Amino acid sequence: MAQFNFPQQTNFYKGKVRDVYSIADNLLVMVASNRISAFDVILPKPIPFKGQVLNQIAAYMLEATKDICPNWLITTPTPNSAIGKRCEPFRVEMVIRGNLTGHAWRTYSSGSRTLCGVMMPDGLKENDYFPTPIITPSTKAEVGHDEDISRADIIARGIVSEADYIVLEKYTHALFQRGKEMAAKQGLILVDTKYEFGKIGDTIYLMDEIHTPDSSRYFYADGYEARQAANERQKQLSKEFVREWLIANNFMGKEGQTVPEMNEEWISTISKRYIELYEKVIGEKFVPEALSDEETEKRITAALQKLNA
């Protein structure tokens, strides 16, 4: 994907999967590429339509939750791009968990009952529901991995004021509840997810993407109870299948390991799985739209000019 140059552009940041352009001092353009990352490594070949899938799920979810809290999104001029308000981000990610899965389970199974200062009850099995969803924040690291942090430490260290943090907690619980309700209609369980927030003046905004398979974990609701009772693995809807393929091919992002060859058949399989994710999460048919770099730049530029007119 080409690097664009937009009117009044002040900065450019290339993320693992998204390119972010700062426009003047008030707007951001996010272009979701077809790059795919796992174990903090960008895999060598792009996945057709992946950027469109993630961008359109995020836009759909932001539209469906805008009554809960303000969000950054203004418009989506192309299937894989979004223009929105530039916020001053809080340096924490609000991770919320409805089930004992992933990092929470690894912590729990090691014998600990505390995660990010939150007590987890005894007697739970992997993938069981928590009595109520728990918020387990992490710091947003400039380099390296994000780190767990407690509510008390966030406030004590002045990362977020107590007054703002109370609002972040309220929004996080309300967004997760809405996400779970939307997932249930699609026969899914929203297991855990993360939200990022920022501020413009005194107003807190929801930023970035929400409820996408890259930022969230979903289980299939059908058969969940039976699988739990039989101590079987839950059927997931996420990009976990890519990680599993890499592990099976001896790659976990460690030094000296080589990314396995991705043949055209496997790339096509990943693309189809992402499209399936879209259709299952949204409940609508996916309409692929491949634009040239020239057309993408033209449409985004036109949208920016309209916003700044």
Q: Same domain, yes or no, for 197 and 122?
A: yes
Is 30 inside a domain boundary?
yes
What is the pLDDT averaged over residues 185-197? 97
pLDDT digits (tens, 9 = 90+) for 202-241: 999 999 999 998 889 999 999 999 999 999 999 988 888 8
Count of domains observed in the chain: 2
Is the pLDDT assigned to residue 63 strictly greater than 90?
yes
**Which burial class, exposed, middle or buried, applies to 181 when counting CB atoms under 10 A from its CB (0-12, 13-18, 19+)?**
exposed
Mean pLDDT on 237-254: 88
pLDDT score of 195 more than 70: yes
Tokens coding 33: 């590429």
15: CATH: 3.30.200.20
What residues contact residue 210 under an 8 Å CB cut-off, 6+ apart? 58, 61, 62, 65, 175, 179, 193, 195, 216
Q: Do 78 and 114 have their domain in common?
A: no
Asked if residue 169 is part of any domain, the answer here is yes
214 plus 190 within the same structural domain: yes
57 and 129 share a domain?
no
Domain check: are 35 and 21 in the same one? yes
Provide the pLDDT for residue 1.
77
- pLDDT(199) > 90: yes
Annotate 177-234 with DSSP letters as a single string: HHHHHHHHHTTEEEEEEEEEEEEETTEEEEES--S-TTTEEEEESTTHHHHHHTTPPP
**DSSP readout, 13-52?**
EE-SSEEEEEETTTEEEEEE-S--EETTEE-SS--TTHHH
Single out the residue in 202, 237, 272 at which a domain terminates.
Answer: 237
For the ranges 41-45, 192-196, 231-235, the lowest mean pLDDT is seen at 41-45
In the predicted structure, residue 107 carries a pLDDT above the cut 90: yes
Residue 4 within a domain: no
The mean pLDDT of 292-298, rounded to a whole number, is: 95
Classify residue 205: in a domain, yes or no.
Answer: yes
Question: With 80 as the cut, is the pLDDT of residue 46 above it?
Answer: yes
Mean pLDDT, residues 45-62: 96
In a domain, 2, yes or no: no
Identify the helix (H) or strand (E) that includes residue 170. helix 162-185
Confidence of residue 53 (pLDDT cuts 50, 70, 90): very high
CA of 183: how far to CAs of 108, 145, 237, 283, in Å? 26, 29, 11, 10
Domain membership of residue 134 (yes or no) is yes
- Judge if 214 and 302 occupy the same domain: no
The verdict on residue 1 lying in a domain is no
- Whether pLDDT at 50 is above 90: yes
Mean pLDDT, residues 90-96 taken together: 97
The share of the chain scoring above pLDDT 90, in percent, equals 85
Is residue 3 assigned to a domain? Answer: no
Q: 27 and 131 share a domain?
A: no
Q: Are residues 73 and 114 in the same domain?
A: no
Quote the pLDDT of residue 144.
58
The token pair that represents 45 in the structure block: 């070949």
| Structure confidence at residue 16 as a pLDDT band (50, 70, 90) | confident
* Same domain, residue pair 197 and 94: yes
pLDDT in tens, 255-290: 899 999 999 999 999 999 999 989 999 999 999 998
Entry pTM? 0.92
Express as a percent the part of the chain with pLDDT over 70.
98
Do 274 and 248 share a domain, yes or no?
A: yes
What is the span of the domain harbouring residue 293? 9-87+239-254+262-307
The stretch 76-93 carries a mean pLDDT of: 97
Q: What is the mean pLDDT of the chain?
A: 94
113-155 confidence digits (pLDDT tens): 999 999 999 999 999 999 999 999 999 766 556 789 999 999 9
Please say which residue of 237, 271, 291 terminates a domain.
Answer: 237
Residue 161: CATH number of its domain: 3.30.470.20
For residues 121 and 65, state if they share a domain: no
Residues 174 and 132 in one domain: yes
Give the pLDDT confidence score for residue 309 in this predicted structure: 59
Q: Is residue 35 over pLDDT 90?
A: yes
